[in-house]
Structure 1
C-alpha cells in the first residue's frame, strides 16, 4: 500500500536576543533568545516514488528535479530537501537510497526574516521521520535540522529557528558551547496572548535579503573581538531576559520598550541591518500610531514588527499598505512541527 506523509512546521517571530544563538558568540558567552511561533507554516510532503528515482518539487518556487536515489549532489535548486534526504539516508537507512517523491511549499519566502529556510528543514525532517517511522523527539528533530543546514549544506546562521519550529509557542531559549540548547516553554496568560496579537502588526517590505551575509559579518566581528559588536550582543542577550519577564508579567509597555532597545542594539552588530527603506517605513509607522518597531530576523529587509494600541491598528495598516508592501494577518500558535500519514 502506498503511503503519503504530510508535515508542517510553524514560522517564528524573533522577539529578542536574535544573533546570540550564532557561533562563536554563544560558544564563548552563551546566548539567550525569546521567540514565538505563528500560524504560518512550511510544508513538506513525502510519498513512495518510482523505481530508483527520488524527485523534489518546490511548488511555491516552481522548481522540479529528479535524480537516481543513490546519486545525489547537494547543489543547485532544492538544496534543503536534498540535504535532508541525503542525511536521512546516511544516518537511518544504511546509506541506501529509497525512491520517494518530495514536495515543499511555504507561507513565506526565503529571506523574509521569519526563519523560513530553517523551518522548511524542520518540516522535511519531521516528514521523513514520520515516513520512515524514526523515533525523533523535538530536540532530536531540531538538532538534526541544524546540522543539515549549517554543517552539511554550509549555510550560515544560528540555532533558534530550528528549535522554535520544532517546539512551537512562546519559548525562552539558551544556547551554550558544544551545541547544548535548553528550550524553556513559557506559560503565557490568555489575556496577554490576546493583547499581544491585537497589538502587533507584521509588515512585509517586499524585499527579501540574504541573511547569511549579515550573519557572516556578525560572526567575523565576534571572532575578531570587535568590542562594539560584542557589547551589542551582550545587550541583546539582556533584552531577551527582559522580554521574557515582560511577557510573563503582561507588561505591554515594557514589551514595546524592550523590543525597541533590542532593535537598536541589533543595528550595532553588523552593517546593513537597517537601510533607508526600513527607516522610512518606521517613520511612517510612528506617525500613524506605532509605539515600537523591530525587523524580524537578521535584518536588511523582510518583515518588520510594529507595536501599537489595538485601536490604532487599522489606520496603521492603511498607512503601511499605502507604501506598496503588505500586512500579514497572523495568530500565535502553541504547537510545533507535526506530521500525519495518509494511506
Structure 2
C-alpha cells in the first residue's frame, strides 16, 4: 500500500507575527490567512530494504537507517525524521517499522508561504492515513506544531500548521497554553475572484531563514520594547479589519489594511525589510500596485502586491523584467488531505 498526502501553502494577509510566543501568550494573537493551490506532498510506501528510508525528492537528499537506530537530527531531512520519530513514540510504542518516507514541495524553503510547517502537516496527515490514527484537524495541526517547535526546536509561530490543516480563508486567534481558535470565513464568490485577479505573487529569488527574524521579534517582546509591541498590537487589529473587509467585499479597505500591516510589520524587527525588498516595492508602485507586503516573517521570499485587475499586465511585465519569478495561483478551500493506493 502507498499513502499520499498533500497540504496547501498559505498567504499571510494580516497579523503574521502575533501568533508567535510570547506575544500571543500575553496579549492574544490575531491572524488572517488564506491557502492557495500550491502544496507540500508526502508519500509513505513499503521499504524494499527493510529499513527506514527518508528522501526529500525536490532537493535530492536521502538517508537510510536501521529501524532500531536513532537517526541524527538536523539537516535537510530533519522534518521527515522528526515526524517519523514522534509518530513512533506516541502511537507505535516507540517501535520504528520499515517504511519509505518521501517528500516534495511546490515552493522552496524560506519562501514565506509556510512551506516547512506545511510539509510537517502533510507528513503528519500521511501517517494519520497510514496507521488510521484518531486525529482530527485541531489535533493534526497541534501535533505538527509540537514536532516543529518543541521536538525540532525550530523557531516560529502557529498559524502555518493550522492554515495547512484547515485550508481556505481563516481568521485565527491564538492564546496562552497553545489554545487556538480557527474561524473559517464564508467569502463571497465575487470577492474570491476579484481578489485572485488583484493579487500578484512575486518571488524575490532570495530564500531566507525566518528563525533569526522571529527570535528578534520574541526578544523585543520579552525586553518590553514598546515600538515593537505597539506594532504587533496594530497587526492584530489589522487582522480583524482584514476579516471584516473580506466579509463585506470592501477591496479598497482590504488593500489599505494590507499596506498598513506591512508598514507596522517593518517595525517589529530590523531585518524584516532590506534594500532588495524596498527596490522591488518601489518598482511595483510605479507600475500600478497600490499595496504590498512580504509574505511570512520577512527578509525575502514571496512578496504580495495588490493592484486593479486592469493594471495587472503592466505590473507583471515590470516585475518579470526585474528578475525573480511570478507565481500564478488560485485560492483553495481544501486543507490537508490523504489517500491510499492499493
Which residue pairs with 1:115 in the alignment? 114
The number of residues matched between the two structures is 341
Which residue pairs with 1:56 in the alignment? 54
Deviates more, 1:39-48 or 1:62-71: 62-71
Calculate the TM-score normalised by the size of structure 1: 0.98
CA distance in 2, matches of 1:130, 1:206: 35
CA distance in 2, matches of 1:313, 1:215: 32
Which residue pairs with 1:178 in the alignment? 177
CA distance in 2, matches of 1:321, 1:29: 41
CA distance in 2, matches of 1:229, 1:206: 28
Structure 2 residue 306 is matched with structure 1 residue 307:
yes
CA distance in 2, matches of 1:134, 1:169: 24
Which residue pairs with 1:202 in the alignment? 201
Which residue pairs with 2:37 in the alignment? 39
Can you give the 5+ residue segments of structure 1 that lack an aligned partner in the other structure? none
Q: Match of 1:178, SS? A: helix
RMSD between aligned alpha carbons?
A: 0.7
- CA-CA distance at 1:49 after TM superposition: 1.4
Matches within 5 A, 1:77-226: 77-226=76-225
Q: Match of 2:271, SS? A: coil
Which residue pairs with 2:9 in the alignment? 11
- CA-CA distance at 1:50 after TM superposition: 3.6
CA distance in 2, matches of 1:16, 1:124: 27
CA distance in 1, matches of 2:34, 2:312: 20
CA distance in 1, matches of 2:68, 2:122: 23
CA distance in 2, matches of 1:98, 1:341: 18
Q: Match of 2:124, SS? A: helix
- CA-CA distance at 1:48 after TM superposition: 1.7
CA distance in 2, matches of 1:51, 1:279: 51
- CA-CA distance at 1:52 after TM superposition: 4.5
CA distance in 1, matches of 2:325, 2:73: 34
CA distance in 2, matches of 1:17, 1:319: 29
CA distance in 2, matches of 1:263, 1:75: 32
Can you give the 5+ residue segments of structure 2 that lack an aligned partner in the other structure? none
Write the deviation string for residues 209-267 of structure 1: whole angstroms up to 9, x where unpaired. 01011000000010111111110100000000000000000000001000000000000
Which residue pairs with 1:319 in the alignment? 318
- CA-CA distance at 1:73 after TM superposition: 2.6
- CA-CA distance at 1:105 after TM superposition: 0.3
Write the deviation string for residues 48-97 of structure 1: whole angstroms up to 9, x where unpaired. 21465111111101101101122123233300000000000000000011
CA distance in 1, matches of 2:260, 2:75: 39
